[in-house]
Amino acid sequence: MEVKNTKAYKIVIDYIKDKVFRKELKTGDKLPTERELAENLKVSRTSVREAIRALEVIGLIESRQGAGNYIKNDFEKSLFEPLSVMFMLQESSPKDIFNLREILEMECCKLAVKNVKDYELDKLGAIISEMKETDDEERNSVLDKELHSLVATISGNKLIINVLNVISVLIEASIKEYRSQIINLFKSNDELMEIHEGIYLALRNRSEEEIVDVMNKHYELIKKAVKM
């Protein structure tokens, strides 16, 4: 007997979310057809379509023309739109976004201290060596992002990594007017190089105290550069 309830679509949403939480549905997996979902859950196909639309909006699934519905692979893109709209509606300042990144990145660094492997230290060392050798400010800016991205990856927390990546995009969009000041940081800035080397040493020493100290210095330097 079909469920006759205006909230029937929630049954479908809860069913799919439960499958994801139980890892019975993973990224890239195809969902059952509308007909299969309707028959299995005793709801109308209209309710199934409502549920699919709702799950598309929150970024959990994507509909592929003629191919069905799939669990999304690109969660960062899914997170970006609602987060960016939320920041705009709440009139969040670049400082608000930066502070959020600071909190999350600090936790990433603490996790990285516990999880870092020797081969990852080698990668960090290679990035820092290239930073020392290049006089190209744009290249140094790219290397800086690579360094922080690698530290986040070392943390092993995929959720924090995804959110941090989204926040980094938001920061890039919201502080365009500060870009020249940030680029200027890479012009023979010995203090910044010391910070990057400090990040490497803190991870090599597996020292949470050292990583917290050096990251606080890093944030203060950035804030000073953009007068935040």
Q: Of 95 and 169, which is predicted with more confidence?
A: 95
- Verdict on whether the full-model pTM lies above 0.85: no
Distance CA 14, CA 30 (A): 17
pLDDT at 141: 79
**Spatial distance between the Cα atoms of 228 and 226, rounded to a whole number of angstroms:** 5
Q: Which three-class secondary structure state does DSSP give residue 7?
A: coil
Confidence of residue 172 (pLDDT cuts 50, 70, 90): low
Report d(CA 176, CA 162) in Å as an integer: 22
Residue 42 in contact with residue 1, Cβ under 8 Å?
A: yes
Q: Where do the domains of the chain lie?
A: 8-73, 77-226
State how far the Cα of 36 lies from the Cα of 14, in Å rounded to an integer.
Answer: 16
Give residues with Cβ within 8 angstroms of 181, minimum separation 6. Answer: 225, 226, 227
For 29-33, the CB contacts below 8 A with 24+ separation are 29/70, 29/71, 30/67, 30/68, 30/69, 30/70, 31/61, 31/68, 31/69, 31/70, 31/71, 33/68
Instruction: Tell me the fold of 8-73.
Output: Arc Repressor Mutant, subunit A (1.10.10)
Dihedral sign, CA of 37, 38, 41, 47?
Answer: positive
Residues forming a β-bridge with 62? 70
> pLDDT tens across 124-165, in order?
999 999 988 888 877 887 888 899 999 999 999 988 888 887
At position 8, the amino acid (one-letter code) is A
Report the CATH number of the 77-226 domain.
1.20.120.530
pLDDT in tens, 15-42: 998 888 888 988 889 999 999 999 999 9
